[in-house]
Amino acid sequence: MIVAIDGESLTIDDVVQVARFGQKVELAVSANELIKKSRDVVETAINEGRLVYGVNTGFGELASVSIGLEDLAKLQVNLIRSHSVGIGEPFPIEVVRGMILLRANALAKGYSGVRIELILTLIQLLNAGVTPVVPQQGSVGSSGDLAPLAHMALVMIGEGEAFYDEERMDGFTALKKVGIKPIVLKAKEGVALINGTQPMTSVGALTVFDALITVKDAMIATCMSIEALKGTRAALDERIHAIRAHEGQTDVATAMRALLLDSEINQSHTDCGIVQDAYSLRCAPQVIGASLDTIRYVQSVVETEINSATDNPLIFADDDTVISGGNFHGQPIALAMDFLGIAISEIANISERRINRLVNPHLSGLPAFLTTEGGLESGMMIAQYTAAALVSENKILAHPASVDSIPTSADQEDHVSMGTIAARKAALILENVKNVIAIEYMCSAQGIDLLAPLKTSKPLEAAKSKMRKVVSKLEDDRTLTPDIEEIRNLMNIGELVTATEDKTGPLLDV
């Protein structure tokens, strides 16, 4: 199916399908009228000689400088060139594709005063597989993500660099290869392209989508650890969670009950006399559930932002009004991304504590470091070190970027959001979280195997069997990095979640 953009109905799933899987895009016919009307307002203002910010004035601190009619087109090109000052490694292709889609969708709302041709050029880039090279660093997240979006716009005018067919080349060559003509920007169009939150929001949309899937992996790995450590199911009793009633906590507890259906391992310690488990086992629904609630909140913020008009000035065609405002300010996304980073880092924090219990014979009742040849062999000792390093790194990354601000544009832009930094940090944190969960998967599967011939529940056995097709039980010391990477690959393609959900049904409504 083709994703039709109208500025009103784009979803995070649409963003993922276009950005990550190459879904085709078109402009909804219903959007054309408002786009044309807003453009007419801009043309009328120019013809009447009205002074309009970004149309016939300079930018930022230079907003009081009037620009003559003969220089309006040059003003827009100069804007794109001068604002293309990003540095660092390029954003991943999927992130840039996401920002192109989001920018096109925002312009399609019909409040930006651009021509339909400009939006169609953005759509052409997506459908032809031309992806501008956009450096990750250089945005403070207000007045829009100016530098990243300027690098995106450079390719539209036949400049800058782009990726095409897995090659990096100059923007003009990339356009020529797919038959796209560089667009000649007209008044207002340059500023409309770069005033927006699309880079931070693209990173945010992809990260939220992946975080929701990671929660499922975290629950499965947690339940495997409970089995390996012969934990109790008592703390999952539905009545406990009903009288606190946080949605995430309740949902996680429900899913964990489905995963921990009665098993031989569970039956083996029915009368062990242990009343309660450590918090990392007993409080998993409360901790993971709180993170889930946060992810869902961030999801709602991102879903609002991807269908918002975020440039400046905005055009209201109903009464021919052009108004300068601040919708480009990234604070809503900045705060949400900081909250997301904190929430998902906690998923790894508690996971690492379970990994520690699994490898510690004084806590697990299992062979030291999950090897039967302790002393001669170190088993999974250092896997816990790696998890500890990752969660410690996340504690630094989780420091909020949005509490910072630094004035720009000669103090005209005297409070900025740092939203792009917040989003990039959240994405980095999630990568670390996934690796910690992969380590827990590896250790808990080993722990369950060491309890043989006892078997775990059918859903968890399905996940473990899928894992064992690519990672064998540890019999003798070997390099464990490939094992972690193999499990991580299974997580990336959803194999472990799918294997368990084939037995339980959907674990979460996401």
Residues 6+ apart with CB under 8 A from 267: none
Q: Which residues pair with 315 in a beta bridge?
A: 322
Pairing between β-strand 131-132 and β-strand 161-164 as defined by DSSP bridges = antiparallel
* Whether the model pTM is above 0.75: yes
Phi then psi for residue 135, to 5 deg, are -60, 145
State how far the Cα of 431 lies from the Cα of 261, in Å rounded to an integer.
Answer: 30
Phi then psi for residue 139, to 5 deg, are -105, 135
Tell me if the bond preceding 400 is cis, omega within 30° of 0.
no
For 182, what's the count of Cα atoms within 13 Å in the CB-facing half-sphere? 17
Q: Helix, strand, or coil here: 87?
A: strand
State how far the Cα of 5 lies from the Cα of 345, in Å rounded to an integer.
Answer: 34
State how far the Cα of 406 lies from the Cα of 417, in Å rounded to an integer.
Answer: 9
Please give, one letter per residue, the 3-state secondary structure of 384-425: HHHHHHHHHHHHHHCCCCCCCCCCECCCCECCCCCHHHHHHH
Give the pLDDT of residue 2.
Answer: 96
Q: Which residues pair with 137 in a beta bridge?
A: 87
Return the closest-CA partner of residue 328 out of 184, 239, 196, 419: 196
- The pair of structure tokens assigned to 497 is 């979640």
Q: Check: CB of residue 110 under 8 Å from CB of residue 35.
A: yes
- The pair of structure tokens assigned to 316 is 């209201």
Return the closest-CA partner of residue 62 out of 74, 53, 73, 70: 53
Q: Helix, strand, or coil here: 57?
A: strand
State how far the Cα of 481 lies from the Cα of 399, in Å rounded to an integer.
Answer: 28
- The pair of structure tokens assigned to 351 is 């996971």
Give the pLDDT of residue 59.
Answer: 67
Which residues of the chain fall short of a pLDDT of 70? 59-63
CA distances from 126 to 93, 185, 310 (A): 11, 19, 21
Give the pLDDT of residue 49.
Answer: 81
Q: Helix, strand, or coil here: 243?
A: coil
- The pair of structure tokens assigned to 25 is 């895009």
State how far the Cα of 252 lies from the Cα of 250, in Å rounded to an integer.
Answer: 6
State how far the Cα of 454 lies from the Cα of 324, in Å rounded to an integer.
Answer: 68
State how far the Cα of 218 lies from the Cα of 153, in Å rounded to an integer.
Answer: 39
Residues 6+ apart with CB under 8 A from 343: 290, 291, 294, 295, 298
State how far the Cα of 92 lies from the Cα of 480, in Å rounded to an integer.
Answer: 27
pLDDT in tens, 221-275: 999 999 999 999 999 999 999 999 999 999 999 999 999 998 999 998 887 777 7
State how far the Cα of 312 lies from the Cα of 191, in Å rounded to an integer.
Answer: 8
Give the pLDDT of residue 60.
Answer: 66
- The pair of structure tokens assigned to 15 is 């963003």
State how far the Cα of 172 lies from the Cα of 158, in Å rounded to an integer.
Answer: 4
Domains of the chain: 3-196 (1.10.275.10), 203-504 (1.20.200.10)
Catalytic residue numbers read 53
Q: Which residues pair with 57 in a beta bridge?
A: 66
H or E element at residue 322:
strand 321-323
